[in-house]
């Protein structure tokens, strides 16, 4: 049972956020994700998931 080949047709970017506690890292990440979602480039998920 061979595995299906991984398609590399989408660019991938890993983004890390660093900063002090309570300085908006999660809020910034959520805002970026919402903008990308409106452009059809990301999926929005609940923080708890």
The answer, as to whether pTM is greater than 0.85, is no
Q: How confident is the model at residue 2 (pLDDT cuts 50, 70, 90)?
A: confident
Sorted by where each begins, the domain ranges of the chain are: 24-48
What are the b/e assignments for 6-39, b being 16+ CB within 10 Å?
eeeeeeeeeeeeeeeeeeeeeeeeeeeeeeeeee
pLDDT in tens, 9-49: 878 888 899 999 999 998 998 899 999 999 998 888 887 87
pLDDT in tens, 19-28: 999 999 989 9
């Amino acid at each position: 049972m061979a595995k299906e080949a991984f398609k590399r047709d989408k660019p991938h970017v890993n983004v890390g956020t660093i900063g002090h506690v309570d300085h908006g890292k999660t809020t910034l990440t959520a805002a970026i994700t919402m903008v990308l979602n409106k452009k059809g480039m990301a999926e929005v998920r609940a923080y708890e998931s």
